[in-house]
Structure 1
Amino acid sequence: MLALLVALQTQDFGRILDDPKLDGSIAAVVVADRDGKILFERNSRTHVMPASNMKLLSNSFALYQLGPDRKGETRFWKEPTRTVVESTGDPMLTHDQLVEARNRLRLDRRLPVYLHEEYAPGWGENWEYGDLPNKYAAPVCAFNVDRGSFEIWSQGGKPQFRPEAYGTRVVPAALPKGTTTRYDPFTRTVYATNAAFTKDQRVDTLSLPHPDEAAASLLGSRMVPTDEVPRRAPDLVIAGPKIIDVVGACLPPSDNQLAEQLLMLGARTEGPLGLDAYATARTRLTNFLTRIVGIDPADVKVDDGSGLSRHNYVTARAIVKLLAWSDHQPTALQWRAALAHAGKGTLASRLKGIEFTGKTGSLDLVAALSGYVQTRNGETRIVSIIFNQFGCSPAEARGIADRIVAAASD
C-alpha cells in the first residue's frame, strides 16, 4: 500500500513539474523520507544557485561547531589614553548597547579606540556592486553595530538619520524617474530629489561601509586596529545572544548579515581566519559538509554564507542530505524551531494549513524552498526544490514549489 501511495505521489510531482511555466528552466527537486531515502528526484545532481537556501549550510555549520548555547562577547577596557575593545563576534550588538557601555564607563570620546576583532572580511568578494548600498549586503566584521545598517527617514520635510548619521550626508540631485534617493556607501553620500522627504516616513535602510569604525565612533575619536589587549580583566563585558537565538533570528526573515556572521563564527572555532577570512571560512564549511555531513564534494561549492553571491552552487540532493543529517542531531528540535514555519517569516503568505518548516530562497531567476513537511499520517518528508532561470514570474515559480510541498504532505 505504501509503495502504491509513493508511486501515485511520484506521478503528482512529475505532473506539477511539467507545468509549461517552467519550460526552459532548471528544476532541481528531491523528495525524501526523514532518513534521506529519496522517494522522488528530478535533476537531483544538477548544480543550481541556492539563493538563501545557502543559509541552511552556514547556520547548521555554526550550530554544530559552536553548540546552541555559546555566546559572543565584546570586552571593554578604559585606559588613561585610550579605550580598548576586543570582539569575539556578537552579530546582534546594537547602538543602544554601545551608548550604554560608553556611559557606564564614562569614556572620553576624544580618545582613540584600539580594537581587536577576530575577523573583518568586509564585503563578500563576489557580491554585486548594485547590492552593496543595501542593508542586506552590509560588510562583515566581528565588531558591529545594528547588523551593519542604519536608516534614513523623512521627518518634517527634512532628512533624518537613525540612530546616527555615521558621517553620511544628503546631497540634492536629479535622479531617474521613479527614483527619489540613491546611496553611495563608498563616499557616504545619499543623493536625493525634492520628492524624497515630502511626508514623514522611513525612506530606506542603508549599509554601513565600515561597521567596526561606526561602532568605534560611538566610543571614541577614531579606530586603531591592534593585536594586543590589556592583561587585566575587562572593565565591562557585553555578552551576545546564544547561537541558537542568532540562528532563529537569521533563518525565518532570511537575514544575510547574520548568516555571514554565523559562517565566520563557525569557522573561527578551528583557529584564526587569517587575512583572507572568506577563503578560510569557505574551506572549513566545505570540510564540514563533506566530512561530517557526508555530502559528495561534487555537490557543493561555497562562496558565502547567505546565498547573496551568484558563485555558490549546490544540488538538491545535497540540501536533503544536510536536512536529514540535521534532523538526527542532538539539536534537532532546536534546529527545526529556528526555521521558518508555514504562515510565518518569509513563509507568511504561503503554505497555510500545511505543517512545513524550512527555508525559502529568492534571487534574480532563483526560487528555492527546502525543509521538512509532515504528512497526514504523521510521517516526516524532506523536500528540496530549487528553480533557476525560469521564464515565469517569481510568484508563479513559488506557487509551483508550494504545490510540490502540498503533494508531499498527502
Structure 2
Amino acid sequence: MQITFKYLKYSILTSLFLVIGCSSVKKTLNTQLQKDPLKNSFHGLVVVDAHSQKTLYDQNGDRYFLPASNTKVVTFYTGVKMLPKNIPTLKYAVSNDTLFIEGTGDPSWLHPHLKDSTAIQWLKKQGTIALYLNNIEEDRYGPGWAWEDYDTYFSPERGSLPLYANVVTLSAVDSLQVSPSYFAESVSLQKKPKSRVEFSNQFFIDPKEQDTLEVPYITDKNITKALLETVLEKEIVLVDHFPDTPKQTLYGMETDSIYKQMLYKSDNFLAEQLLIAASSTISDTLGTKRAMDYMLEHDYSDLSQKPRWVDGSGLSRYNLFTPRSFVEILQKLHNEMPEERLFGIFPMWGPSSTVKEWEDPTTEPFLFAKSGSFGNNYNLSGYVKTKSGKLLIFSFMNNHFRIPSSEVRKTMYETLKELYLTY
C-alpha cells in the first residue's frame, strides 16, 4: 500500500511538472510569435518532447506550408530507410566477355567535393565496357522548378549516371581553369548576364571573377560516354539494351557522408540523386517518383497530414508539408538512429544560418536543424537540446512575409533559444 501511494504521489508530481512546463512553454512561445517580424507572415510551430512524445506547443501545425529545403529532411529519412550503408554505385552483368553497366543515380562519381572514385577505379580494371543509359524515367528538371535557374550551381540536371555533379567548374583567377577539361574549348572569358547559353554547352566567366563557379552542363549520352572514356582512358560502347541476365551491384561510398553534405550544404543535386538511388533498390527503372510513392505507401503512410511531395530537394513550389508532418518524420529519425549518428549528420543552426562551428558564446551548441528558404519564405525543422538536458523536436515554418529574411531568422533563433533556456 505504501509503495502504491509513493508511486501515485510520484505520478501526480510528474504530471504536475509537465503541465507547468507546457504552460510555461506556451506562454513563452505565444509571446515570441507576437513579435513584429512574424506578425504579417503565415507561420506554424510544433514542439514535441522527443522522449515522452508529448506535444508542448502547436500553432497551425496541421496547415500546409511551402517547405523549400526542409524537404531534404524527408529525403534524408527516405535514404535511411531505402539505402544501405554504402550507396549502390552501379549495376552490372557480364555477357560474351563484355561488361554491361548502368547507373543507379549515385551522385558521387567524380563529384568535386565528395571525390569518390570507387566505380572509376573498378572500371579501369575491366575489359570491354558497354554503357546502358536508358534505365531512367526522369525529366532533367523537377516539376515546378524555376526555368531561369538553368545556369546556377543549385540547379544541375538529374540523371542515372551523373559525372562531376553534372556541373562545369570554372575559375578565372590567374588563368582559366576548367573541370572537366572536356568543356575547355566551350568556355569564353566574357562578362555575360548568364554563365551558360540556355540550350547549349557554351559557358562564360568574367575575367575579373574571383570566385570559382559551378555551372550546370546539358547532359546527353554522348557527353557521358566521352567523359567516362577520358577518365578511364579507354573506349566504351553505348548500347540500347541490357542483357537479360541477373545483375550485380557495386557499392560506393558511405551514404552518411552524402547525407551530411546534402544537409549541411543544402545540396539540391545530392538530394535529387539520393531519391533516384533509393529507387534503384526497388526497381530496375529509376525515378524519384518511384521512391516517393514507395515511402508514401510505407514509412510515410502514418503521417497526420499526407504531403504533396514532388521532388527531393525542395526546389519546387509544388511541395506542401505541415509542421506536424516534419515533427513526425524527425521523431522517426530519432527513434531509429542513435543520437551520436543523428547529430553527427544533422547540421547546427544559429544564430541566423547553418554553421560549421557554434557561434553563440552564451550557450552550448543546442540547435540542430535544417533550414529551407525561398523568396518570402523561411522554415526550420530539427532538434533543440535544452539547458536542462531534454531533447525537443520542432518545426517552425514561416511563409509569405515581405520583410528581410534576416529579421525572421533572428526572431526564430530568439524563440528557439528561449526554449533552450526555459524547458
TM-score, with structure 2 as normaliser: 0.80
Note closer, same or farther for the CA distance 1:347–1:361 as it changes in structure 2 (3 Å cut): farther
Aligned to 1:129: 147
Deviations 1:16-43 (A, max 9, x none): 1111122321111111110432111111
Q: Please report how far the alpha carbon of residue 228 of structure 1 lies from its aligned counterpart in structure 2 after TM superposition.
A: 1.1
Aligned partner of 1:140 in structure 2 is: 158
What does residue 290 of structure 1 align with?
A: 300
Task: Summarize deviations over 1:9-67 as a string: whole Å, max 9, x none.
Answer: 21121111111122321111111110432111111111101111101111101211224
Checking the alignment, whether the CA contact within 8 Å between 1:120 and 1:141 is kept in structure 2 is no
Structure 1 residues 280 and 135 mapped into 2: Cα distance closer, same or farther (>3 Å)?
A: same
Q: Find the aligned partners of 2:160 and 2:73 in 1 and give their Cα distance.
A: 21
Structure 1 CA distance for aligned equivalents of residues 316 and 337 of structure 2: 31
Alignment of 1:246 onto 2:262: no
Residue type at the aligned position of 2:346: L
Is residue 2:365 matched to residue 1:365? Answer: no
Task: Return the letter of the residue paired with 2:68.
Answer: A
**Please, which of 52, 64, 70 is the counterpart of residue 47 of structure 1?**
64
- Alignment pair present for 1:266 and 2:278: yes
Of the three residues 376, 395, 406, the one matched with 1:395 is: 406
- 1:321-349 CA-to-partner distances (Å, cap 9, x unmatched) read 11112211155542332110246992347
Confirm or deny: 8 A CA contact 1:185 1:209 kept in the other structure. Answer: no
Matching residue within 215, 226, 231 for 1:217:
226
Q: CA distance change for structure 1 residues 29 and 350 in 2, over 3 Å: closer, same or farther?
A: farther
Q: Is the contact between residue 359 and residue 371 of structure 1 (CA under 8 Å) also seen in structure 2? A: yes
Contact preservation (8 Å) 2:79, 2:274: yes
What is the distance in 2 between the residues matched to 1:59 and 1:28? Answer: 22
Task: State TM-score, norm by structure 1.
Answer: 0.82
* SS state at 1:271 partner: coil
Which is worse superposed, 165-174 or 324-333?
A: 165-174
Matching residue of 1:325: 332
Q: Residues of 2 paired with 1:3 and 1:185: CA distance? A: 59
**Unmatched 5+ stretches in structure 1:** none
Whichever residue aligns with residue 124 of structure 1, its letter is G
1:100-249 to structure 2, matched below 5 A, reads 104=125, 114-116=131-133, 118-119=135-136, 121=138, 122-156=140-174, 159-166=176-183, 169-171=186-188, 175=192, 179=193, 181-191=194-204, 196-198=206-208, 201-210=210-219, 213-220=222-229, 224-229=238-243, 239-249=251-261
- Could you tell me whether the CA contact under 8 Å between 1:113 and 1:219 is conserved in 2? no
Residues 29 and 42, structure 1, Cα contact 8 Å, conserved in 2: yes
Residue identity in the other structure for 1:58? T
Check conservation: 1:362, 1:368, Cα contact below 8 A.
Answer: yes
Task: Give secondary structure in 1 for the equivalent of 2:195.
Answer: strand
How far apart are 1:186 and its partner, in Å? 2.2
- For residue 115 of structure 1, report the CA deviation from its aligned partner: 2.1
- What does residue range 304-383 of structure 1 map to in structure 2 within 5 Å? 304-330=311-337, 333-342=340-349, 346-348=354-356, 352=360, 353=363, 354-383=365-394
Instruction: Name the CA shift for 1:115/1:300 in 2 (closer, same or farther; >3 Å).
Output: same
CA distance in 2, matches of 1:239, 1:368: 35
Distance 1:38 1:117, change over 3 A: farther
1:23–1:391 Cα contact (<8 Å) kept: no
Partner residue, 2:9:
none
Segments of structure 2 that go 5 or more residues without pairing to the other structure are 1-16, 230-234
Give the drift of 1:318. Answer: 0.6
The whole-number CA distance in structure 1 between the counterparts of 2:371 and 2:317 is 16
Residue 4 of structure 1 pairs with residue 20 of structure 2: yes
| In 2: Cα distance, 1:92 partner to 1:355 partner | 31
Return the index of the structure with the highest Cα Rg: 2
Calculate the aligned-residue CA RMSD, in Å: 3.3
- Give the 3 Å change call, closer, same or farther, for CA 19–213 of structure 1 in structure 2: farther
What's the counterpart of residue 31 of structure 1? 47
Judge conservation of contact 1:93–1:240 (CA < 8 Å) in 2. no
- Tell me if the contact between 2:386 and 2:392 (Cα under 8 Å) persists in the aligned partners: yes
**Matches of 2:55 and 2:94, distance apart in 1:** 58
Report % sequence identity.
19
- The one-letter code matched in structure 2 to 1:364 is G
Amino acid at match of 1:358: A
**Equivalent residue pairs, number:** 389
Structure 1: how far apart are the matches of 2:40 and 2:92? Answer: 57
2:47–2:394 Cα contact (<8 Å) kept: yes
Instruction: Report the Cα distance in structure 2 between the residues aligned to 1:257 and 1:399, rounded to whole angstroms.
Output: 28
Partner of 2:7 in structure 1? none
1:5 shift after superposition: 3.2
Are the structure 2 counterparts of residues 317 and 84 from structure 1 closer, same or farther at C-alpha, using a change threshold of 3 Å?
A: same
Partner amino acid, structure 1, of 2:317: R
